[in-house]
Amino acid sequence: MTAPKKYVVGITDHMFGAPDLEAEVLGDDVEIEFFASTDEASFDPDRLARLDALMVWGARLGSRSIAHLSRCRGVVRYGVGYEKIDLSALADAGIPFANNPDYGTEEVADHAVAMILSLHRRLWEHDARARGYTSGWQVHSLKPLSRSNRTAVGVVGVGRIGTAVVNRLKPFGFRILGYDPGQPPGHEKAIGYERANRLDDLFAQADIVTLHCPANDQTRGILNADGLSRLKRGAILVNTARGELLDDLDALEATLRNGHLAAAAIDTLAQEPPREHPLLTAWRDRSDWLEGRLVITPHNAFYSDHAAIEMRHNAAQTVKILLDEGRLRNQVTA
């Protein structure tokens, strides 16, 4: 006769099929309740009421579901961001919440730096235009194109990933500016960047701006039409952080069309998959005016085979520690 399970852990969804790795980490005394859905409305109240802990990937978690988590000891998100989690409702229910910050740092930093270097050297534009050259070859250099040691990179958010980006960029000789009011005085000296005390100071000086901050009340729409207009003319923009930071596609299209923005590389969009928009149509159609100047990747900067395992293992380990020891690491408060 099989012994009854000691705990029940819910998993809303994830992109990797059956939660076998999670089951291995959590152990034989844990039953997994796999909802396999990102639609919160589909979560059965009776199934929610059984849970001792809940792991969330892409689903929203609001008061509707939280009201039924009557025995839940904690909610853990697989990823770093928690914009879709109602922290206030969790707090009101007395349920602690944790994210999963210690995975994928290397991958996102590598992805951002690859975008920075490729747009700085205009590689995608060279590749696109070289296909149509019928005479000459080397004469078709794209201008302007500056040296890295004559170029300033502004890093908005110098936390784990922003710091990893700074460390990767330093050997290339870029002048590196950093804006992050959450970092203590002297952080810039320890890491090796110039602190910008005002975001506008960074925008005015940076030839390349790369975003590595969360989406919150202070940062949502940070690069709307007004924010984009404050960038240095001819700047390059890279966003591997949150789509909500750059959610005005009309403004992005206008600044790319008029040349105020030289190029942009985006890994996260405010709506995914993206809605129809003239800018995205031009990108899909490889329109001549945009060719090589807009790069979009499908929100996979975090991904490598190693990071996927690390993410799932670390999130499950957080739940295991909660159930076995009663403490929640990486706890986030409202």
What is the Cα 216 distance to its own chain's centre?
13
Buried b (16+ CB within 10 A) or exposed e, 163-175: bbbbebbeebebb
**Alpha-carbon distances of 300 from 140, 269, 303, rounded to whole Å:** 33, 12, 5
The span from the first CA to the last CA of the chain, in angstroms, equals 44
What is the Cα 209 distance to its own chain's centre?
15
Q: Active-site positions?
A: 242, 272, 299
> Nearest 5°: phi and psi at 155?
-105, 115
- The alpha-helical segments, DSSP class H, found in 216-327 are 225-229, 249-257, 278-284, 305-325
CA torsion 283→289→290→291, rounded to 10°?
A: 90
In 10 A of CB 118, how many CB atoms? 20
- Locate the DSSP E strands across the chain: 7-11, 30-34, 53-56, 75-77, 97-98, 152-156, 175-179, 194-195, 208-211, 235-239, 261-266, 294-296, 331-332
What is the Cα 132 distance to its own chain's centre?
35
Q: What strand order describes the sheet that includes 294-296?
A: 194-195, 175-179, 152-156, 208-211, 235-239, 261-266, 294-296
